[in-house]
Amino acid sequence: MRITLLVLMGIFLYSNQSQAQYVSTKVKTKHQVYTDSLKQVEYNYLFPILGQGAYTKGFDIPYPAGLMANYMWMDQSLVFENLQLGIKSDNIDLPLTDIGFVEFGQNTNTSFSINVRPDLWILPFLNVYGIFGYGESHTEVNIVAPLNFKSVVDQSFNTVGVGVLGAGGIGPVWFSVDANWTWNQPELLDKPVRTNVLGIRLGHTFVFKNKPESNIALWAGAMSIQMNSDTQGQIKLIDALPSEVWEDRDAFVAEYNEWYDGLSAPKKILVDGSPIPDIVDKIESADGETIIKYGMDKQVKERWNGLIGIQYQYNKHWMLRSEAGLIGDRKSFLISLNYRFLL
């Protein structure tokens, strides 16, 4: 159906919360004076547990507690399946019904989010964190059958989540595995969208010769995204359709009737058993207050994409980092500022 409300079936937002963490650094022997000073540190703090042992071995571990501010931009393709529609007004309340005759084309989502992430190193190799943020998303849905149609929806969302990161080193190279689970609540959906993110990174830290507390870290890796596929919500018909449909309702209804008349008898029965005829009647009568209920399955088009990143550590308190997703269907950009401190 050429009904713009179908764009709302494609409401999708993604608030990527997977960041490369600052990990413990093994200081090279050319900084022998600094390395020796690390081995002499008396670490009397609770976190990270085993912190004293890490210093004794010459590891420059980060301060245990941190607060990170992040800005994230992302663009990616989406896949929509199993569309269902329902309708509710003063004199009618139809349950969700499968609308299998609607076919989607290329669908995209562009979003940005701003979030804060408090974190704590429980062990020198294990970090836990929370995520609290706000974002906005722009979704474009293309319907190719029964009519060729494009719809757009913009909305804001709030995000909460938790994550865990494990890190270690192999010779001069460090690695990290970062997993988080976020619940994103958009304004047009009934329930939050749960997103699972897994990040794997491999990098190296270059320590400044005359200032061992400062360094630059470079890394490459990959990120995986999955979400709970079931989406349900509702919206007023007037908000679901673009203004041009309401301005030229007769042309819209005529185009629908032309499409319907060309259907075979079995397909007409399928359409007649759906909420589509009632929705068209509401459009024809300019009843925009009718509530449209919807449900569908959605998922990102490609689960994995490649990453590259860089971080500048001014000292053990302040770090500035950036990361980009360049390889694969998903494109992203992250910039963040991290402040760390002793408890």
Q: CATH code at 119?
A: 2.40.128
Share the mean pLDDT of the chain.
Answer: 85
Alpha-carbon distance values, 50 to 28, 43, 123, 124, 246 (Å): 21, 9, 6, 7, 66
The residues near 237 (Cβ < 8 Å, ≥ 6 apart) are: 5, 279, 282, 283, 287, 288, 289, 290, 291, 292
What percent of the chain has pLDDT above 90?
43
Residue 224, burial from CB neighbour count under 10 angstroms (0-12, 13-18, 19+): middle
Please tell me the distance from the alpha carbon of residue 13 to that of residue 187, in angstroms, as a whole number: 11
Helices (H) and strands (E) in the chain, counts: 7, 16
Give the best-scoring range by mean pLDDT among 26-30, 111-115, 259-263.
111-115
What pLDDT sits at residue 77? 95
The boundaries of the domain holding residue 317 are: 4-341
In tens, the pLDDT along 186-209 reads: 887 778 889 999 999 999 999 898
Contact 68, 56 (CB under 8 A): no
In three-state secondary structure terms, 333 is strand
Burial of residue 217, with CB atoms counted within 10 A of its CB: 0-12 exposed, 13-18 middle, 19 or more buried = buried
- Cα(224)–Cα(201) distance, integer angstroms: 12
Number of structural domains found in the chain: 1
Tens digits of per-residue pLDDT, 202-230?
999 998 988 888 999 999 999 999 987 77
User: Residues 34, 36, 42, 43: is their CA dihedral positive or negative?
Assistant: positive
